[in-house]
Amino acid sequence: MKDESGSLLARLAQNELASRVGSAVGLGALAIGATLIDGVAFILFWVAAAAFFLAEFLAMIGYGRLITATALGAIGLTAAAIGAVRSSLGLGLAALLIAALVIALRAEKRSTGLMGAAGLAYAACVALPVVVLRSLPEHGLAWTLWLYALVWTTDIGAYFAGRGLGGPKLWPSVSPKKTWSGFVGGTLAGVGVAMLINAAGAIPPHSPASVLGLALVASFAVQAGDLFESALKRHYGVKDSSRLIPGHGGFMDRLDGFAFASLVLVAGLGVSA
């Protein structure tokens, strides 16, 4: 009996779909829980995600002082996130800029330092837009959950449509596995769920046309973010940003599209600090 259970666990660990589903459900539950709790828990959740994202980026580009740079970045990200919530985003961004400058100056090579600073800006796109979105005095929770739903269903739709239908490649020189069927399937899934949420009245009243426009652009952004990260990994000869998330790779692999989509949504809603 013991051998059978061990064999079952081994098979599950080797099953990509099971790993993807298990990891996605676990991380999704944590994200939703932190979002509902809000406050410090929400900020810490997204700062931690962005810090892991930054660490993977720095490892990818070969930044030598990885722990120090990640710690500096985490401090800057925390300051910026707190500033976004307390209407002092300017001070927070100043702290983030200082962290980026130190990361750039402490690198062994100038080119690596510049990329490291850019990586911190990239990681900031993971945490800051969603923190700003959640901090909206009215409907911040609703829009944040809407964003999660759109991003997740876009990813799910693209995965299953691409695997199930196959067909012409979307951009083979950047990402050999992505197909046009996956792109269309992901867009239809993400936009469809976003429109259903709007029809149910779960977000502030907006015209169907405006929600459709937001959903389309945000869903495109999810997939553009994924392609952008694929191009980076191909440039640096990396397959997965890490193996921290079973079935997904790393935090960069999981949050690339989220960063782009959250920026689009915040800009589309006209949110400003």
Q: Could you report the per-residue pLDDT of 227-249, keeping only the tens digit for each? A: 999 999 889 988 777 777 766 67
Residue 161 domain flag? yes
Residue 106 domain flag? yes
Strand pairing category for 175-179 and 169-171 = antiparallel
Residue 174 domain flag? yes
Residue 109 domain flag? yes
Distance CA(249)–CA(244), nearest Å, equals 6
Q: What is the mean pLDDT of residues 88-94?
A: 85
Residue 3 domain flag? no
The candidate with the shortest Cα–Cα distance to 79, out of 63, 90, 68, 65, is: 90
Q: How many domains does the chain have?
A: 1
Domain extent at residue 38: 17-268
Residue 12 domain flag? no
Residue 1 domain flag? no
Statement: the pTM of the whole predicted model exceeds 0.75: yes
The DSSP annotation for 238-268 comes to: -S-S-SSBTTTBSHHHHHHHHHHHHHHHHHH
Residue 273 domain flag? no
pLDDT tens digits along 169-194: 988 888 888 899 999 999 999 999 99
